[in-house]
Amino acid sequence: MLKDDMCSMKIHVYMLHNNHWYLHCNSCLDHCNHPPLLAKAKAKSSMDMSPGSKSLVSITISKVSSSIQTILLTFHALYSLILANYAL
């Protein structure tokens, strides 16, 4: 698939030390190049998911969230160290 044929949507989120998630300004919420939905397609919610699917989604979100928190905490620690050394 060529880059021009892919959806341009990119979501960049970050969590601050207050445990609130924010949408980064470099995010792109525009959609393009999606195949049309079939007329018989139905909107579904988490109520329509099997327990196994719900568990998989929950575990995946938890792992991604944990990884992002680790990265942000590492960045915060490095930034604090740089500021502390700069103040000397």
pLDDT on residue 87: 60
Same domain, 76 and 53: yes
Q: Please tell me whether residue 51 adopts helix, strand or coil conformation.
A: helix
Of 9, 8, 11, residue with least CA distance to 21: 11
Same domain, 83 and 55: yes
Residue 39: inside a domain? no
53: its two tokens: 């699917």
Q: Tens digit of pLDDT per residue, the chain (88 long)?
A: 677 778 888 888 777 778 777 888 888 888 788 778 788 888 778 788 888 888 888 888 887 777 777 777 777 777 777 777 766 5
Q: How far apart are CA 7 and CA 79, in angstroms?
A: 34
Q: Residue 67 belongs to what domain range?
A: 48-88
Residue 41: inside a domain? no
First-last CA distance in the chain: 52
Same domain, 56 and 23: no
Same domain, 52 and 88: yes
45: its two tokens: 């919610």
pLDDT on residue 88: 53
Residue 43: inside a domain? no
Q: How far apart are CA 50 and CA 55, in angstroms?
A: 9
Q: How far apart are CA 21 and CA 26, in angstroms?
A: 15
Residue 22: inside a domain? yes
Same domain, 55 and 87: yes
Residue 6: inside a domain? yes
